[in-house]
Each structure stands twice: as C-alpha cells, then as structure tokens.
Structure 1
Amino acid sequence: MKNSIGNTKLILLHPYIQKQGSSSRLWLLAIVSLLTLAFLIVTLVYTRESTSSITTATAAVISSASSGPGFSSSAPLSTEVVKALLHYASKSNDTFRMSYSEMKPISDVLRKCSSPCNLLVFGLTHETLLWRALNHNGRTVFIDENRYYAAYVEQIYPEIDAYDVQYTTKMREKGKLIDLVRKKTKNECRPVQNLLFSDCRLGINDLPNHVYDMDWDVILVDGPREDLPDTPGRMSAIFTASVLARSKKGGNQKTHIFVHDFVGDVERVYSDEFLCRENLVESSDKLGHFVLERMDPSSVHFCEKRRLSSAA
C-alpha cells in the first residue's frame, strides 16, 4: 500500500525520572533515544542528497519548456528538451547514476511509445524524476523496497507515484530460487498468470491491484539492492516483469523491458531464464534491452528454446 510520510510520527523514549528508578536503565533509554534520532537524521540527509541532485536542472528545463508560447501539456517533449534532460541527469556526481549512453535507449523507446505510455520502474534512483518527465503524457509507477524512502520521495515530489514492496528473496538464495521456479513453471510459476493471486516464490503479489491490471509498455529493472547476501536482489523484479509482459490483456502486444547493471550474475542469468535470449535486441555491460510479446494463457515455457527442447 502506498505510504505517506506525513502520517509518520517520531517517538523518542523519554522516561519519567523517579527517585526509586534505576539510573542505569535511564541512561540506557536515553542512549537508545539518541541513537534512534541520529539514525533517522542520517537517513533523511542521505536520501535528500541522492534525490535532490537532479531536481534543479530538471525542474528548470521542464519549467522553461512548459511556459513557452504554444505549449500543450499533452504535446510530446521536443528533441531539445529531451537532450537537455539527459545531459543534466548524466552530469551528476552520483556514483550510481546512469550514463548518457545507458539512458538514451530508454528515452528513445519512451518517445516512440504510443500515448499514453505506461512505464513501470523497479527502483527509486537518481533518474526517478527523469523517467517521470520523459513520460509526462503517460502513467509512470515506481516500486521500491524501502517504504520510508518511497514515502519521503512522494512527500518531496507529490507527482511521483511510488509504492513499497516487501521482497521475500535474498541474494544468497539466487541459485536455489531459479531451480525452484524451473520445477514449477507448469503450476504456480507459469509465464502467464495474475500475480496478485500467485504463490510463486519469485512473483511479487502484494502491490495494488491496478499494477497488475495495467498493460505496461515499458518496464525498467533498476532495483532492488543486491550488494550484500541478505539484500533482496533483482530476481523477483526480473521474473515479475516477464510475467506482466506476457500476461497483457490488451493494448500493444509488445513490452520493452530494460535491465540495468546487465554485467551482474543475477541480471544475466535471470534475464536469460525469464526474458530469454531470443528476445534480446540490444545489450552492453550496463543495459540489456528485451522485447517480449504477449503469450497464450496456456503457455508453460518462458523461452522458445525450452519449448522446442520439450517438444523434441
């Protein structure tokens, strides 16, 4: 469910000092309170810095373009505005930002997408405002594993549509999980299904209903975290993206799926397993671009090569 930071309350432990109370307990409670406050301050400072780095330049470009003569809110962004947005977003000092060459293919697809374009992004990142701006005529939804950060971003940028999800996967399980799903592709881990009712371990099933009902034209996998053994990894995001693309009910039969950090083991292996090599149209160390088509509901194989192998 969507969270609102405005409803969040900070509770500090401040014990009532009584003569008969234990002084050591009072000191302990005071230390815990200070540590809690320090943690929240550090978190907010970090997120503010990482998000606000693209705000000034992006907002200035959009404001300038939208205030010009003859501007229509439904009109596509001009080539000059798109170039400016990509330029300023790629010039940040943020270590985790995308480069111009990584953002350009995504931007090109969004520009060619028939309006309105539906864009789903896994991960709230340095480029969040950029994707929202480039798809200004369409629907853009962001999914993130950090409920506090998602609520913070929505408070600062009310136009951002973000939801948090509780991933049940761990990076240390990446080998076991792919074997588990392979055994269940004919049952709960089918390539075509309504994930809202799915029991598949890799399927994300706790998002709002409209996320599953939407026919997504473009999906970007740029999260969640995968830097430690106990972080979620992108296994569920890649699997969920593949099912959403194959389970479309209407609109364009094709879905563009981009996987960032394509050099990673999880990105390569899970993309090959669920997005399929025959659907890969462009790739580099940092970005994989797949185009998937809607599948028949009776399908039990994600990839053509496995279907042919099974039929042989």
Structure 2
Amino acid sequence: MTTHDALVGTLPGVRLENDTHVCEITRFGAHVASWRVKRTSDELLFRSKLAKLDGTKAIRGGVPVCFPQFSDMGPCAQSHGFARTSVWAVEALSATEVTMVLRRGDEAGDGDAFGGDYEARFTATLDGDALRTALRVTNAGKSCFEFTSALHTYFRVSDCAKTKVRGLRGTTYLDNLRARASAKDDEDAVEFSGEVDRIYTDAPSVLTIDDEALGRRFRVAKTSTFPDAVVWNPALTDKTRGMSDFGDEEYREMVCVEVAGVKDKITVEPGETWEASQTISYSAI
C-alpha cells in the first residue's frame, strides 16, 4: 500500500500490491495505469509510449473511466465525459484496494453540461491473480439524472492480428464505422484484420480475449448493470496517424474490450446508488 506524489509521469496516485501482482492507479481520472505480474514485470494492460502523463490529456491506455457519457452519447462536449480528466480524491486505501471519489463541483471540464448532483466512486481491487474495477454513482440531489458509462479497458496483446474476442456470437451490435448501423454478429470470434469499432448491446456476462501468439487468455466478467460491451481496435488509419498520444504501429499491441452501459441511459433517482463492475483474470490458452 503506497501513495506517491508522482506515480506515473508527474501524476500522483497509489500503488496496490499482493503476492503476485502490482497495480497503479492515478488520481487523475481514477485511472488504472498499470497492472503487472510481480515476478516477471509482464504488463497486462496496454499504455501508449506516447501517452500524456502530465494531466494535460486523458491517459491513452490502461482503464479510463467514461462518465457521465460514453463517446458522444451525452451532453458533454468532451468525448467520454469529464471523469477521466478530473482529479479524484482517495477515500479509502488498503494494501490491495483503493476507492477514489469525485463529487459535483470537483470535476474538470464541462460538468455544468451534465448538471446532476452526483458522487462517483471508483474502486480497484487486487484479488489474487484477478483485477476488479467498480464504478458507483450516487444521486445526492433532489432530481433524477441520466448518464452513459464504460470502463474503457486496453488489453496488451502480442499481435492484434492473432487475437480473437470470443463470446459475442449472436449478439447485436452498433457499428461505429457505419454511423452506428445495427448488425448481428454471426462469427465465432471478433478478429482484427482492420479497424473494428462496435457497441455490442445486451452482451453476455463473460467475454474472453485469446492472444494466440502469446498463448494467453483474458477473461472479462461483468455485472448485469453494465449490459453492453464495446470492442475496439483503431488499426492504422488517417485518424490514428494524427493521434499525438498513440504511435502509428501501436494498434498491433492492444485490443479494447470495454464493459459499458450505453444503449439505454442509466437512470439514478434521488438518494439511490447505481453500481457496476468488471473482474479481469487470465490463464494459458
């Protein structure tokens, strides 16, 4: 259990540790910036070598918290909302778990566009070889509010072209490459021969990511309160070539599988709390 004034780059945060793993979470964005195997220092999450680590921009990689909107699916001008560029306060800390909180008025950016009187809490927990991340949103006001949300996890893989996401066969998705046109996935696995950007609605509770070149399988288990899942790899396009915080060839090293609540807005009544989480584990294929 360690707090740091400069944990990742110049960003303060906390370091969690158990017998097998180390996890680092910055206060900027309540952002899981690293989750690695202690014995080998093998990093399990992708973070760009060009990621901005000085608080000027959301961190490219790790586990960004998208709140109070995913992408442009909400009232904020900032894509993915303000949570990932706001400084959260450490509320509780132990050797293997941290909870950070962001309250109305403490956010960066266009918090007024959202307007809800909220308290958001993000908890990261090391549990053996697994990492659990949870988001809780409490309505501290007198009026209900709505939002969309996601935990935008970047998984490190050896080669996206040899990586497959399984568990989505038969699921309907909105294709962001075709103006969110609806389609049904009839394939055994999602593969990455080019750009992929899909919102799977009412996705199964467990998805797997097979890194066939490395022989590693990630397992992503989500609660029903995150009903959707996003699968994304940007490939090499004009857009990625223009991204200052992402190397041209780095798309090969990552696949995003994001647990989410985006198809239908999440509604929280006054005095109520919504909570959703994911548990990530891995094994040999």
Point out the structure with max Rg over C-alpha. 1
Normalised-by-shorter TM-score class:
under 0.3
Q: Which is richer in helix?
A: 1
- With the length of structure 1 as denominator, give the TM-score of the two structures: 0.25
- With the length of structure 2 as denominator, give the TM-score of the two structures: 0.27
Q: Which is richer in strand?
A: 2
